[in-house]
Amino acid sequence: MSEPFFFAFSTAPTVGDIAELIGAEFDAALADRRIRGLAAIERAGPQDLVYYDNPRYADELARTRAGACILRGDARARIPDGVAALVVDHPYRAFARIAAHFVPESLRAAPIFAAGVSPRAHVHSEARLEPGVDVEPGAVVGAGAEIGSGTLVGANAIIGAGVRIGRGCVIGAGASLFYALLGDRVVVHPGVRIGQDGFGFALGARGHLKVPQMGRVIVQDDVEIGANTSIDRGASRDTIVGEGAKIDNLVQIGHNVVVGRHCVIVAQVGLAGSTELGDFVMVGGQTGVAGHLRIGAGARIAAQSGVMRDVPAGASVGGTPAQDLRQFLKGAARDRRAARAGKEKKS
């Protein structure tokens, strides 16, 4: 980084220190070189660490001025002379480990204004906070709420009555949580809405009758929820987000949805009510999934898909309506060829 104002290295490790942390092969002659920051490969200077994990950036790798680069063995010959090569099997994961180790504050959804409970926060007398909870100015914690040690409640966040939040969590500024139970190490980014009414109405010719939403939202351990995402509480059963799931910004999760363990849901996805995702499902950005469907474990859904039927475990689908991804791509290629042929005939 050219100006590491917000996120600076906590120490100045050597190349040897970094190699030991990530288990990398390297040239021992460069072991004592000091690294003082992380940078993009094209902007790095001689005291910066970078990583290379995508052939699109081969030209940038060949020109980099970095002090050290994490990369795979087959790319080692491409780096300029004098750059310390740190060879690993998975460069991106290794880079993430380095960043987390030497810039730990970057893992928080927001910086802490001040430790402890701010006098400008409103914490109900019947709320229960373990030692080590930070509550920032303007935050509200309702009656009977429980918050575990090491958790940060950001400025102007609202924790509703009876909500339970585990240990080591981060609740970002302006988030609101109602009718929800959160596990440990959950990260809720600013503006997230959890536990509001699901969209439930009994339709009728003379008007639509609102159906009471009497479930909860259960968020298990190590979940991360991106900014301005909404997760509705269940109607007759709970909405559940499984352990380790990673949810991007601006995602809508409807009532009674079950998201399996370690799913990845990218920005602007909409999951309609009562849909169930198995473990390790990946859903590309701007995808819409109809209600009451089952997406099998390990399935992958391409960006901008419209899913209207169940998806088998391990399948890859794309398009609207979603179909086998290979068939979808073949069809798109046929359409492009037909369009070109039509233009050539007209000309």
The token pair at 63 is: 């020109």
Q: Determine the straight-line distance between the first and last CA of the chain, rounded to whole angstroms.
A: 52
Number of alpha helices (DSSP H) and beta strands (DSSP E) in the chain: 4, 36
- In this structure, are residues 151 and 131 in contact, taking their beta carbons and an 8 Å threshold? no
Q: Which two tokens stand for residue 86?
A: 């740190």
Under 8 Å between Cβ of 254 and 237 = no
Burial class (CB in 10 A: 0-12, 13-18, 19+), 265: buried
Q: Which of 208, 255, 262, 292 is catalytic?
A: 255
- In whole angstroms, what is the distance from residue 156 CA to residue 138 CA? 4
Task: Identify the CA nearest to 47 among candidates 60, 58, 61, 37.
Answer: 37
Nearest residue to 34 via CA among 50, 5, 12: 12
For residue 95, what are its two tokens? Answer: 């880079």
How many angstroms separate the CA atoms of 314 and 337, rounded? 30
Smallest CA-to-CA distance from 252 within 179, 169, 192 is with 192
The answer to whether residue 189 is catalytic is no
Q: CA–CA separation, 195 vs 215, rounded Å?
A: 9
Q: What CA–CA distance (Å, rounded) separates 116 from 150?
A: 10
- Check: CB of residue 277 under 8 Å from CB of residue 254: no
Pairing type for strands 201-202 and 180-182 reads unpaired
Question: What residues act catalytically?
Answer: 255
